[in-house]
Amino acid sequence: MIAELLTGPYGIPTWFGLAAVFVCVPAWILVLLRRKKREKDFLIRHPDAAVLRIRNGGITGSLNVRSVDGERPVLASKGTKRFLYLAPGEHALSLSYRRTKVSVVGKLSRYFDANRIETEKTATKRMTVKAYEKYNLYYDGRTEAFKFTRKQNQD
């Protein structure tokens, strides 16, 4: 039965399934473990880190943090919620947002790329992140701008 499954008419799909289970799943687990270690190391170095919740914008929107001060961001997730850790102080964030409008005719994607919000002195928009504070980071579709707000309830 097993030999027939591997060599018969379903042999190729079976091998692809086995490859997915024995190659892709462990690789994904290693990626997640490395991300968790990076998060843990950052929180050891900066125990007073601020947390930015990344709000996508519904089912059709996707907000991505490309870099923080020119470096790779420290991202975390809990369930479906995504977070960005920042050390207290001023930071320059490179952000992108993608919104897809789904209609009966098809999909239409609109991409807002390389929008840069700087919190340094040369910036057009400034933000100082305080220790232990929680913030929301989202894209406002009406004004077509990235927004930061301080989270009121600290839960």
| Angle, vertex CA 30, rays to CA 10 and CA 81, nearest 5 | 100
Backbone angles phi, psi at 124, to 5 degrees: -85, -25
pLDDT for position 153: 67
Residue of 114, 148, 113, 115 whose CA lies nearest to 133: 148
Domain ranges across the chain: 2-42, 47-150
As given in the structure block, the two tokens for residue 127 are 């933000």
pTM, 2 dp: 0.71
Per-residue pLDDT tens digits for 3-37: 666 777 777 888 888 888 899 889 999 999 999 99
Closest by CA to 14, choosing from 29, 22, 28, is 22
Q: What is the pLDDT of residues 78-133, one digit of tens each?
A: 888 899 999 999 988 888 887 776 666 655 555 554 444 433 222 234 577 899 99
Q: Which helix (H) or strand (E) holds 31?
A: helix 25-45
**Residue range 101-110, pLDDT digits in tens:** 666 665 555 5
